[in-house]
Structure 1
Amino acid sequence: MELHKPPKLLPLYRAALLRRPNGTALPERELRLSNVSVDVAHLAEYDRVCGFRLRDELPATYPHVLAFPMALSLMTAADFPFPAMGIVHVANEIRVLRPLRSSDSFALSVRAEDLRPHERGRQFDMVATASIADEPVWIGRSTYLKREGQPHTAREQSDGPDSPRSTAIWAVRRRTGPDYARVSGDRNPIHISRLAARAFGFKRTIAHGMWTKARCLAALEGRLPERFTVSVQFKRPILLPATVAFANGGARFAVHDGVTGAPHLTGTIVDHDCADPDEGAR
């Protein structure tokens, strides 16, 4: 489906709150928006919220924000099998095939694919692609989980082997949730309302996972390859406000609770032009 303009978010959030799932499979359609341009004022605000320097080259996470209204449009459609407010963003992979700049005009397409079983329910991928002259230049893959089984276990929340050592401590303000919600359009109430967060089982509002990923890449600015893949797993949510530790070990990075050491995010970077994938970003 070719769109003439980005979907408006307010009606989509109404649909997310009111609609009941009425499908058994992921919709096969793809939404496409041509001639996407960057609002430099919005880009500057995104950079400020996430910690990036002001520059012409787009942060690797920025096209995800531009594609978000289209993804939400798919997830709130009548034939989507899960409620948009009942799924959990568990992983994200971004492939930068060439740097995008604020002066570029590009097409964005979004589709849902690969519905598959998971030991705690079912998961699927929401795939967004930015293209110039029909050539993909950026691909984002967000993995979402619909919980239908048992709650988290210690094994699922483990940090994995050989975790890098902490290299910085970040104070994450209470305003991080509302600020990122405003600039990203992702206004899930668990990020901006303490009452809503409690209704979903959180003691306080929580940071967006994509803010955490963006903050990590901002900390690595100047050391990232020109063409790369950055993959993250979202672990425990960051309850706001918080003190967290950032760890960077070459091709691997992580965010932990600054007091308990519990993992919030683990990630890897693969340089497309590097023969040794363990070299990553340095």
Structure 2
Amino acid sequence: MTVSPTWLYAKAALTGLTRRGSSPADVRLPPEVKSTRALVDREHLAAYGRVCGFRVGDELPITYPHVLAFPAQLALLTGRGFPFPLPGLVHVANRVARTRPLLASEPLDLRVRLDDLRPHERGWQFDVVSTASVDGVEVWVDVSTYLRRERGAPGRGGGPVGGEGSGPGPERGGPPMPTAVWRVGGDVGRRYAAVSGDRNPIHLHAVPARVFGFRRAIAHGMWSKARCVAEFEGGLPDACAVDVRFKAPIPLPGQVDFSITRTGDGWRFSLWSRRPHLEGVVTG
């Protein structure tokens, strides 16, 4: 049975009332694994390409399976055994890796689990790990790191806090020279929500965003990552990884500078305005 994303988001909102936190000794991640088979809908793939900047083709963008796995991710986070309320969780980092390009014609067997709960100086961090296999062979891995802020955090760890998570190291010496300037429309949050299923209200409208301290709606972190990856289209190695740290939200509408720099084994890229929004690396 397919669970409605609308119902899952209703459950997510309710976790803000029903999950008030536990003592550190009681905090556990449930061992449950969600599995599903995904068939790519080419109209959906084309819509994802339009909002994120990819061309339409047979090869899937390396970030695309994330949206196919998202309903299973949300089901785990709203499940009975998950210890934290969803409102206020911060997506701080994401790493996707593939062993080869994935094709739209291939059925993907997806598995999602929660992993590596660890103390952070601001609370707790944990990973949502999603994998895709074709004919029994794992070809794609996605690791999203989340931060749950809590008073009286259990300990120190999790890397530098300025970037709100673990991931590629920060740019040094201020903003890099922009490669391109992007105008980000006020409807990007709603458009990406329509193709990703991620309908967190802070990405859709200013009023709910203000509840969490933002003056305007903010762009999805995974949209900003995908938009950056689109600039590499056709240039990524067959086997590669794209690792990002989400630093500051992009207000909608907005304008950001995109920069890309060649490194010894790949590329470093970033999004900036008056402050850094995203920093990432591509390795092959």
TM-score (norm 1): 0.88
Superposed counterparts of 1:205-216, under 5 Å = 205-216=217-228
What corresponds to 2:157 in structure 1?
A: none
User: Partners of 2:118 and 2:2 in 1: how far apart?
Assistant: 29
8 A Cα contact 2:259 2:269, kept in partner? yes
User: Partners of 1:12 and 1:249 in 2: how far apart?
Assistant: 40
**SS at structure 2 position matched to 1:67:** helix
Q: Which runs of 5+ in 1 are unaligned?
A: 272-282
User: Partners of 1:238 and 1:63 in 2: how far apart?
Assistant: 23
**SS at structure 1 position matched to 2:162:** coil
Task: Give the counterpart letter for 2:226 in structure 1.
Answer: A
- Answer yes or no: is 1:111 the counterpart of 2:113: yes
- Answer yes or no: is 1:204 the counterpart of 2:216: yes
User: Partners of 2:261 and 2:202 in 1: how far apart?
Assistant: 31
8 A Cα contact 1:7 1:70, kept in partner? no
Alpha-carbon offset, residue 48 of structure 1: 0.2
What corresponds to 1:265 in structure 2?
A: 278
What corresponds to 1:12 in structure 2?
A: 8
Runs of 4+ aligned structure 1 residues displaced above 4 Å come to none
Alpha-carbon offset, residue 10 of structure 1: 1.2
What corresponds to 1:171 in structure 2?
A: 183
Sequence identity percentage:
49
What corresponds to 1:27 in structure 2?
A: 30
Q: Which runs of 5+ in 2 are unaligned?
A: 153-159, 164-168
- Answer yes or no: is 1:192 the counterpart of 2:204: yes
User: Partners of 1:12 and 1:114 in 2: how far apart?
Assistant: 24
8 A Cα contact 1:164 1:253, kept in partner? no
**SS at structure 2 position matched to 1:144:** strand
**SS at structure 2 position matched to 1:166:** coil
**SS at structure 2 position matched to 1:16:** helix
Task: Give the counterpart letter for 1:230 in structure 2.
Answer: V
Task: Give the counterpart letter for 1:249 in structure 2.
Answer: T
**Aligned-pair Cα RMSD in Å:** 1.8
- Answer yes or no: is 1:253 the counterpart of 2:253: no
8 A Cα contact 1:6 1:33, kept in partner? no
What corresponds to 1:156 in structure 2?
A: 162
Alpha-carbon offset, residue 242 of structure 1: 0.6
Task: Give the counterpart letter for 1:221 in structure 2.
Answer: E
8 A Cα contact 1:191 1:207, kept in partner? yes
Alpha-carbon offset, residue 18 of structure 1: 1.4
- Answer yes or no: is 1:146 the counterpart of 2:148: yes
User: Partners of 2:141 and 2:2 in 1: how far apart?
Assistant: 18
Task: Give the counterpart letter for 1:208 in structure 2.
Answer: H
When the two structures are aligned, how many residues end up with a matched partner? 260
